[in-house]
């Protein structure tokens, strides 16, 4: 039970940190690098699957990843860019904080339900995959939106 509570507290602090990082990032122009790097850095967490305790079946991999992709829809819908002073900025959404904490709450509830039927290691592996599916699809959608605006910006500056 200690590990369930500890991992939930850590997830809460990570979500809170992400809110502050996102709000701070909105003050500076966006870039391809800033969009691509977070999922790239997060992908190193897949090394956890070298440890047998964290391995999950392929059906669980697909299930967790696609639940993450589904959750990302809420983040994709609230991530918008705009052109200001010949730069592209991410517009901070007022609902982002509520969506992020709502998704966190749903993840905690699912974790408590799933955690009672499978091991802590498998639960951890599945929730890593869920989070990775969520951030990867969200960031790919952001990259698509950014590139679209970047083309528009180049077209208007010619």
* pLDDT at position 10: 83
| pLDDT band with cut points at 50, 70 and 90 for residue 19 | confident
Block residue for tokens 């952001």: 142
pLDDT tens-place string over residues 136-156: 999 999 999 999 999 988 887
CA distance 77 to 68: 15
b/e string for 38-73 if b means 16 or more Cβ within 10 A?
bbeeeeeeeeeeeeeebebeeebbebbbebbbebbe
pLDDT of residue 157 exceeding 70, the answer is no
C-alpha closest to that of 127 among 45, 20, 52, 18: 45
pLDDT tens-place string over residues 28-79: 899 999 999 999 999 999 999 999 999 999 999 999 999 999 999 988 998 8
* pLDDT at position 148: 95
* pLDDT at position 62: 96
CA distance 157 to 60: 48
- Residues 126 and 114: beta-carbon distance below 8 Å: yes
| pLDDT band with cut points at 50, 70 and 90 for residue 12 | confident
CA distance 149 to 91: 13
Q: What DSSP element (H or E) covers 87? A: strand 87-91
Q: What DSSP element (H or E) covers 114? A: helix 96-115
| pLDDT band with cut points at 50, 70 and 90 for residue 158 | low
């Amino acid at each position: 039970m200690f590990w369930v509570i500890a991992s939930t507290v850590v997830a809460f602090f990570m979500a809170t940190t992400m809110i502050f990082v996102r709000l701070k990032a909105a003050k500076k122009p966006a870039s391809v690098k800033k969009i691509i790097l977070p999922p790239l850095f997060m992908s190193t967490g897949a090394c956890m699957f070298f440890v047998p305790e964290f391995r999950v079946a392929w059906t669980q991999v697909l299930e967790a990843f696609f639940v993450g992709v589904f959750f990302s829809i809420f983040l994709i819908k609230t991530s918008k860019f705009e052109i200001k002073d010949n730069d592209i900025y991410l517009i901070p959404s007022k609902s982002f904080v509520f969506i992020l904490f709502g998704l966190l709450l749903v993840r905690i509830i699912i974790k408590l339900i799933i955690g009672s039927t499978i091991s802590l290691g498998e639960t951890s592996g599945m929730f890593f995959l869920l989070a990775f599916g969520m951030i990867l699809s969200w960031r790919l959608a952001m990259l698509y939106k950014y590139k679209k605006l970047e083309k528009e910006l180049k077209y208007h500056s010619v």
